[in-house]
Amino acid sequence: MIRVTIACPEALIGDANALARVLGYSEADGKTYGEAGWRDEAGNRYAVASGLVSEGFAAAAQSALVEPEWGADMAAAVRAQSRVRIGGPADPAHLVAVFDEDAEAAYRLLGVLRA
């Protein structure tokens, strides 16, 4: 297992939750991104999630999506997938993922602080 921390722009929360539902372990993953309680220095708001995922998570997130047995809004999941970026600071147009075992270090790399 590896830790991924993802900054989700407020406007993408619905689509990002659809993608999380597809890539996750159960339908509960559809609630991964909650309130946009984080901000970057420009004031953009984000929902941030950090957790352990399988070693194959990055490849799965970039591969063709398969609807899970519990169902998902596949159009929304595909929209979110097209906005995924690995590394770098948080961006109001992208879901930005940082792979780092230290969530606090990932928050710093993303440049986000609790609002």
pLDDT tens-digit series, residues 86-110: 999 999 999 999 999 999 999 999 9
**Average pLDDT of the chain?**
96
State the pLDDT at residue 83: 97
Give the number of other CB atoms < 10 A from CB of residue 110.
Answer: 25
**Where are the domains positioned within the chain?**
2-114
What is the pTM (predicted TM-score) of this model? 0.95
Length of the chain in terms of residues written: 115
State the pLDDT at residue 9: 98
